[in-house]
């Protein structure tokens, strides 16, 4: 959340790279040491830590240089930088250990504020302990009351779920003073190992003396915050110059509201209207959402057709043949004899009818079945002028053929048309172009009652 803020925040709390220390308060104005100055860890396992000391059982007891620990397992965070009273840190009972570091502060910070005042200096640290941080003292004053109930834990010797990679992040802003200072970290440790690791904070909180502004933008927009062009949600720090040489510290809490995409899946019947649409398709509509950002409504619309039956008005039937009437896919069927199947087998001439239903209604159709053309023949001419009379060239028969293959050629032997569907005929076109008046050769292979036949002839296309 605080990406790119470390360097900026250091300047805001007047922490700079100048590590000049003072044995006593002087009129000098300057910055305190950086947080990395407080990091634990010596040059090698078993060697003394250059800055930290350790005392056992009492904050007022004897302190000796802390020792860099060695041989810690990988489950310890940054295992090479832990310190204790010995290289192993091993002990046999519940005990308290006090880790101390001394540091001097100048008299005044860069804006002339005394370090004796609260929030003139904030020390931001990440602490790792085995078992837990019990208390922190600055110049002998306990800081747990200033840290939002982070410490102490309910059971400091055996914290529930605690691991050696769990950190306690603290921002120590109270009870510092100009001149010499003493920081003590008290840990509670059960057997068998006591240890502590201190690091500069990975995430730095807003500096004291700053004020927070909250802003929101829409997804895809940006917010100008000082010299930053901000597009992502989170907290951002800026320091704005003001008269007197000191900066005004501002924290931006930016919220990025999403552009809402709502998806509506809807089915309607033919003839109905939904949101002004009457045909199947995907429609995108823009509107302003409750968060003030443009939103998109996606409508996935399906228009279901009313029932239409795929049945002829008339049909021929030859003796010994059967005719199957199949009106198409619907939810229900009721035939003239009360049967409910999706098809009807006709064995005799007569009048046949069916009523079908789907989600959008019902429809009825009737078929007159008469004695059919019980032979087959091909016309010698046809005229595809779309008058619904002799518009196609095809076989004329009501026989039920087992096999059928019709092919038509022009005078140069080029294949114009072929089909294996008895009901399909040639409309006088080839590759979408109308063919001229001429004589064309046809060939047909068919099979009826297990008897195969090969036929051929000519047909005249008349324009």
Q: Which of 146-150, 242-246, 309-313 has the lowest mean pLDDT?
A: 242-246
- Summarize pLDDT for 323-364 with one digit per residue, the tens: 889 999 999 999 999 999 999 999 899 999 999 999 999 999
Is residue 88's pLDDT more than 50?
yes
pLDDT at 9 over 70: no
Q: Where are the extended beta strands (E) located within 377-436?
A: 381-382, 403-409, 415-419, 429-430, 433-434
Give the number of other CB atoms < 10 A from CB of residue 188: 24
* pLDDT value of residue 248: 67
Average pLDDT over residues 75-103: 94
- Cα–Cα–Cα angle for 327, 330, 331, rounded to 5 degrees: 140
pLDDT tens for residues 15-49? 222 233 333 565 577 778 889 999 998 789 999 99
Summarize pLDDT for 177-223 with one digit per residue, the tens.
Answer: 999 999 999 999 998 999 999 999 988 776 666 667 889 998 888 99
Neighbours of 336 (CB within 10 A): 14
Alpha-carbon dihedral 295, 284, 264, 330, rounded to 10 degrees: 180
What pTM was computed for the model? 0.46
Domain residue spans of the chain: 6-200, 211-257, 261-304, 314-371, 381-461
User: At the top level of CATH, which class does the domain 381-461 belong to?
Assistant: mainly beta
Residue 182: name the closest of 252, 102, 117, 84 by CA.
102
């Amino acid at each position: 959340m605080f990406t790119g803020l470390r360097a900026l925040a250091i300047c805001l709390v007047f922490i700079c790279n100048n590590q000049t220390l003072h044995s006593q308060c002087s009129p000098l104005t300057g910055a305190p040491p950086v947080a990395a100055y407080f990091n634990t860890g010596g040059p090698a396992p078993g060697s003394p830590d250059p800055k930290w000391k350790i005392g056992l059982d009492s904050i007022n007891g004897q302190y000796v240089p802390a020792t860099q620990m060695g041989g810690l397992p990988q489950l310890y965070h940054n295992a090479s930088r832990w310190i204790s009273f010995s290289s192993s840190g091993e002990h046999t009972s519940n005990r308290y250990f006090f880790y101390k570091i001394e540091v001097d502060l100048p008299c005044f910070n860069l804006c002339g504020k005394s370090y004796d005042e609260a929030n003139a200096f904030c020390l931001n640290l990440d602490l790792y302990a085995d078992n837990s941080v019990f208390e922190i003292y600055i110049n002998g004053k306990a800081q747990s009351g200033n840290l939002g109930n982070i410490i102490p834990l309910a059971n400091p010797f055996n914290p529930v779920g605690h691991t050696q990679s769990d950190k306690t992040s603290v921002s120590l802003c109270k009870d510092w003073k100009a001149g010499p200072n003493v920081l003590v970290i008290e840990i509670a440790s059960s057997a068998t190992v006591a240890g502590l690791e201190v690091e500069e904070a990975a995430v730095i909180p807003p500096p004291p003396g700053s004020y927070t502004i909250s802003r929101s933008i829409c997804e895809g927009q940006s917010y100008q915050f000082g010299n930053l062009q901000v597009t992502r949600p989170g907290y951002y720090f800026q320091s704005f110059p003001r008269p007197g040489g000191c900066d005004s510290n501002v924290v931006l809490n930016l919220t990025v509201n999403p552009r809402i995409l709502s998806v509506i899946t809807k089915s309607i019947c033919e003839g109905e209207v939904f949101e002004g649409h009457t045909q199947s398709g995907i429609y995108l509509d823009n509107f302003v959402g409750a968060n003030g950002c443009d939103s998109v409504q996606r409508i996935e619309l399906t228009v279901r057709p009313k029932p239409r039956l795929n049945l002829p008005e008339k049909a021929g039937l030859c003796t010994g043949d059967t005719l199957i009437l199949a009106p198409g896919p619907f939810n229900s069927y009721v035939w003239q004899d009360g049967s409910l199947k999706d098809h009807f087998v006709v064995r005799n001439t007569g009048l046949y009818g069916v009523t079908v239903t789907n989600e959008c209604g019902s429809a009825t159709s009737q078929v007159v079945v008469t004695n059919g053309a019980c032979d087959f023949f091909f016309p010698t001419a046809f005229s595809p002028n779309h008058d619904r009379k002799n518009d196609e060239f095809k076989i004329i028969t009501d026989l039920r053929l087992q096999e059928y293959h019709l092919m038509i050629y022009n005078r140069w032997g080029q294949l114009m048309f072929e089909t294996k569907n008895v009901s399909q005929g040639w409309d006088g076109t080839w590759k979408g172009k109308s063919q001229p008046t001429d004589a064309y050769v046809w060939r047909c292979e068919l099979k009826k009652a297990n008897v195969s036949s090969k036929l051929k002839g000519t047909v005249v296309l008349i324009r």
